[in-house]
Amino acid sequence: MVKMAAELINYTKEKQRSIIRFLWAEGVPGAQIHLRMSAQYGNKVLSRRIVYEWIEMFKNGRMSVTDAERSERPATATTTRNEEGTLELIHENRRMTFEEIAGRLNVSVGSAFSLIHDSLQFSKVCSRWVPKELTEDRKCKCLDVYSRHLAHYREEGDNCLQ
């Protein structure tokens, strides 16, 4: 076995899987494959168990070294459908917790957090979900209410708001 002078610095999983596939095709045993890769990749090498799992997949006819799409759960829970569902739940009950929303939508609590804070841009105020930004309508309504209160205090001779 010829050892290279320096460890490889480019150690993506796909590249390591390609090496496993190549060496397996040459008939190199799994333990030897892991040993040779450890010499080059150091502590960034795939585990021995993973090496054996990939060898088994290649034996069973797998050709691709990239991760397969998983059917059991979507790659991301921040879909339009989940955003709409979250918005409906919040409008239904503004005091709902992350855990309750996650349970109702069948997503993780972290995904519920991302949907609420990042996608929909809501935050909790006094135990209720409220939009982070005021819309133009709400800004006008706030100014209108403020103006009426200010006019009322002026009429009464109370200058506490000034």
Specify the pLDDT at position 120. 80
Query: If you average pLDDT over residues 131-141, what whole number do you get?
Result: 71
Whether residue 4 is predicted with pLDDT greater than 70 in this model: the reply is no
pTM: 0.41
Specify the pLDDT at position 74. 53
Whether residue 147 is predicted with pLDDT greater than 70 in this model: the reply is yes
* Distance in angstroms between the alpha carbons of the first and the last residue of the chain: 85
More confident residue, 111 or 32: 32
DSSP string across 122-141: EEEETTEEEESS--HHHHHH
CB atoms within 10 A of CB 65: 18
CA gap 30, 51 in Å, rounded: 7
Whether residue 31 is predicted with pLDDT greater than 50 in this model: the reply is yes
Residues 71-108: tens digit of each pLDDT: 555 556 777 888 888 888 888 888 888 899 889 988 88
| Length of the chain as a residue count | 162
